Amino acid sequence: TNGTMTKNLKVLVSSNDYPPTALKLLEDHFTVLQSRYLNFGQEGSTLGREEILKLIPGCSALVWISNLPITNEILDAAGAQLKIVSTVSAGYNHCNPEELRARGIQLTNTPNVLSPAVAEVAVGLILSASRRFTENLDQVRRGEWEIGFDKVLGQDLRDSTVGIIGLGGIGQAVVKRLSGFDVARFIYSGHREKPEAKALRAEFVSQDTLLEQSDFIVAAVPLTNETKLMINKETLGKMKPNAVFVNVGRGDLVDQDALYDALKNKQIYAAGLDVTTPEPLPKDHKLLTLPNLFVLPHIGSATVRTRREMAELAANNIVNGLTGKPLLSPVKL
Ligand SMILES: O=C(O)C(=O)CO
């Protein structure tokens, strides 16, 4: 489109860490303001907040590159012309969706483009937790390798049952990626049966069946009121003693005290987390004392290509939304 008609519209990009190709998509149409601060994932960062509050008045759209909450304060400061919030993430639990809906502001996210990258991390966590990379790497770093036949013995993915909690884009991508590992059975739980499951030979089961029968459990659901703390003392209690639990969704899906106890008491075998509460996890957090836990600093979508594609999708949502075309990936509010 010809940008001359829309150049008077202001778009705020919430961080200085935004790929140039995506920035250009916005700059071709709009006047772009950009926060100087890198605020992605910096919980409690006040520097970014003040900058956002200073820049947002009068903006028609906001590109949100952060896990920090979009507060009422930010929306109030924006003013009534704010039409679209475009979060550069699949998850939108931090985007204040009820308030956006009440104010008639549209929300877009970036599903699908990140599924392959997040699924790769899920596979990485499955392998690193089941083969106990944390304590094995620790042996290497200490120069104290166990040399006996009976080393730290892991669990096989071969002939196992893999249970996916939430067979959405990410869950499906995990099943696809595991198809070369001779997994015996894929099962999944969720609201309803997914048409895509058939081709993946994944079987719909109740959550209890999934917890009781899976050797590997992957949580790939968004954080909602319903999924919050779904992995807790009770649900961990239903898992097998050899179970490996992996979370690539949100930290708050898990009651971390209960997970700590289950791992400490060897009630389950191991866990791999890409997401925690809080982020960053303090370095003296008790979870990090566990040899059977492997933790990553929320890198699921962090590849060059994926971050670029997320950023471009977020930009194109705004271009479409502010030039009268259909949004590419609207969130149903
Ligand atoms: O897209 C998301 O929801 C993320 O967690 C970013 O990696």
In the chain, % of residues over pLDDT 90: 89
For residue 4, is pLDDT > 70?
no
Distance CA 174, CA 19 (A): 27
Residue nearest to atom 4 of ligand 1 (CA): 89
Distance CA 241, CA 159 (A): 17
Report the chain's mean pLDDT, rounded to a whole number.
Answer: 95
Q: Relative to the CA of 300, which ligand 1 atom is closest?
A: 7
- Ligand 1 centroid–CA 265 distance in Å is 31
Residue nearest to atom 1 of ligand 1 (CA): 89
Ligand 1 contact via 114 beta carbon (within 6 Å):
yes
Distance CA 169, CA 197 (A): 11
Confidence of residue 17 (pLDDT cuts 50, 70, 90): confident
Distance CA 266, CA 144 (A): 23
| Rounded-to-10 torsion of CA 111, 37, 74, 298 | 40
pLDDT digits (tens, 9 = 90+) for 294-306: 999 999 999 999 9
Does the complex come out with an ipTM higher than 0.90?
A: yes
pLDDT digits (tens, 9 = 90+) for 237-250: 999 999 999 999 99
Distance CA 181, CA 158 (A): 6
Confidence of residue 2 (pLDDT cuts 50, 70, 90): low
Range of weakest confidence among 59-68, 173-182, 259-268: 59-68
pLDDT digits (tens, 9 = 90+) for 93-116: 999 999 999 999 999 999 999 999
Question: What residues act catalytically?
Answer: 298
pLDDT digits (tens, 9 = 90+) for 119-176: 999 999 999 999 999 999 999 999 999 888 877 899 999 999 999 999 999 999 999 9
pLDDT for 32 equals 98
pLDDT for 332 equals 97
For residue 47, is pLDDT > 70?
no
pLDDT for 46 equals 63
**Is the model's pTM score more than 0.90?**
yes
pLDDT for 50 equals 85
Task: Work out whether strand 31-34 and strand 270-273 pair parallel, antiparallel, or are unpaired.
Answer: unpaired
E-strand stretches of the chain: 10-13, 31-34, 59-64, 84-87, 106-108, 161-165, 185-189, 202-204, 216-219, 244-247, 270-273, 293-295
- Ligand 1 centroid–CA 270 distance in Å is 23
Ligand 1 contact via 115 beta carbon (within 6 Å):
no
B/e letters for 11-24, b = 16+ CB within 10 Å, e = fewer, are bbbbbebbbeebbe
- Ligand 1 centroid–CA 90 distance in Å is 5
Residue nearest to atom 7 of ligand 1 (CA): 301
pLDDT for 49 equals 82
Q: CA dist 296 to 39, 117, 247, 276, Å?
A: 19, 14, 10, 9
Question: Residue 110 in 3-state DSSP?
Answer: coil
Average pLDDT on 256-280 reads 97
Ligand 1 contact via 91 beta carbon (within 6 Å):
yes
Q: Relative to the CA of 91, which ligand 1 atom is closest?
A: 3
For residue 45, is pLDDT > 70?
no
- Ligand 1 centroid–CA 159 distance in Å is 31
Average pLDDT on 29-51 reads 75
Candidate from 70, 118, 247, 248 with most ligand 1 atoms within 8 A of CB, to mutate:
118
pLDDT digits (tens, 9 = 90+) for 63-89: 999 888 999 999 999 999 999 999 999
Candidate from 89, 109, 273, 298 with most ligand 1 atoms within 8 A of CB, to mutate:
89
Ligand 1 contact via 60 beta carbon (within 6 Å):
no
Q: Which residue from 113, 122, 171 is spatially nearest to 307, judged by alpha carbons?
A: 113
- Ligand 1 centroid–CA 300 distance in Å is 7
Residue nearest to atom 6 of ligand 1 (CA): 89
Confidence of residue 41 (pLDDT cuts 50, 70, 90): very low
pLDDT for 199 equals 98
- Ligand 1 centroid–CA 216 distance in Å is 22
